[in-house]
Amino acid sequence: MKPDQKKPEHSPKYKRGLSMSEKTHNDLTELCEHLGINPHSYISNEIAKAIQRDRLSLMVKQHQDDALKLLAGLISNEKD
């Protein structure tokens, strides 16, 4: 790194504990050996994908709820 370059800023990391059955542990180990990655990376990536998928569903629902509230407000103002 050159002296005039700044170190890239990293986002904070949060630790979570994880327990799994022996079968899941063995399956994960076998899969990761086959894929050539470590279990931590696999778990982190899969959790991130699931969170993004589920968060998208949540955001769609929130936007639908907001739109329905707005529509209900417009309809009630029309009646007045």
CA distance 79 to 76: 5
Total domains present in the chain: 1
Does 11 fall in a domain? no
Angle at 29 between CA 14 and CA 25, to 5 degrees: 70
> Is residue 32 packed enough to be buried (19+ CB in 10 Å), middle (13-18) or exposed (0-12)?
middle
pLDDT score, position 1: 55
Per residue of the chain (80 residues), give pLDDT as tens.
566 677 777 888 888 899 999 999 999 999 999 999 999 999 999 999 999 999 999 999 999 999 999 999 888 887 76
pLDDT score, position 78: 79
Which range marks the domain in which residue 57 is found?
A: 25-79
Does 37 fall in a domain? yes
Does 8 fall in a domain? no
* Cβ proximity of 42 and 31 under 8 Å: yes
pLDDT score, position 63: 95
The answer to whether the pTM exceeds 0.85 is no
pLDDT score, position 10: 82
